Amino acid sequence: MKSRLAVICLGPLVAMSIAVGTAQAQAGARAGASGSASIVRPAVSPATPKPTITITTAGNSCLSGDGYVSDDSTSFTESYFADGEYLSNYQLGCVFDNGVSSQSTSTSSGCNAYAPSQTMLGRAQFADGEESLVCGEPDVTSNDSSDANSQPYYDWTYGDYCKATVLTGSKGTTQSKLVTYDEVEWYQPYTDYDGNFVNSDTTVCVGVVPNTKGVSSSVATHKVACSETDPYTGKTIKGSAVTSTYPDRQFEEVCSIPNAKA
């Protein structure tokens, strides 16, 4: 049964808001002469810059709508070029081990833990007691507006096989591939600035590092390549993910692909 949920961030650091403005990456090439006046390089058109991800917070307190508190949270900003301008994709993920054995998903609008305020939240509860929360807003311009504002989340897959590459070991530097079925894919359809019908697809996988592997005493995060299935076309789309391993042995992977053309 679907229910509404709000998430609130505690602690002095952020309130889980991603207070990082849109990254204004620059790309381009200059034509000119080099070495000798007889050598003239042809003009080169500016290349489309590759997306970049910046991890903005890790380990802040996160409060679920059913009263559970966790420090297992990570937020990041993806900066990319689309629709003729530089845009940002804001994401925040929290994972809880609340011991509740149930299977459900729910969504709400206006994630209180997050800035800008017009974001969507998706919650998934799994049978092994794990709970996942994710907030996101794609296609954010330099003036903090987005055509995805207030557009609802829908769950596309739930409980599918997921292999996450997470950092383990006492120093948090060993890459380990861990399998989990605590998985949910959210999609958010909207019309972008050029009038194209697009999706923002976000797949979240959570789990617990087995006792046979060590974990760091601080949050260990890294960036990996990922892929998702577009719910409209059925095609595989590729993007980037952030994985986090927490001192209490929980882990999560958030794979978010904004502005996916349907």
Q: pLDDT digit string (tens) for 187-240?
A: 999 998 888 899 999 999 999 999 999 999 999 999 999 999 888 888 899 999
Amino acid identity at 246: Y
Residue 155's identity, in one-letter code, is D
Q: Could you report the per-residue pLDDT of 157-193, keeping only the tens digit for each?
A: 999 999 999 999 999 999 999 999 999 999 999 998 8
Do 105 and 122 contact (CB within 8 A), yes or no?
yes
> Which pLDDT score is estimated for 76?
94
Q: Higher-confidence residue: 11 or 184?
A: 184
* pLDDT confidence of residue 48: 58
Mean of per-residue pLDDT scores for the chain? 80
Please choose, from the candidates 208, 68, 91, 211, the residue with its C-alpha nearest in 3D space to the C-alpha of residue 139: 91
State how far the Cα of 234 lies from the Cα of 25, in Å rounded to an integer: 32
User: For residue 196, how many other CB atoms are within 10 A of its CB?
Assistant: 13
Q: What is the dihedral of CA 239, 143, 109, 67, to 10 degrees?
A: 90
**Could you tell me how many residues make up the chain?**
262
Count of Cβ atoms closer than 10 Å to residue 173 Cβ: 11
In contact, 133 and 122? CB cutoff 8 Å: yes
On the question of pLDDT at 260 being above 70, the answer is: yes
Please state the domain extents for the chain: 8-20+50-261
Query: 11 or 244: which carries more pLDDT confidence?
Result: 244
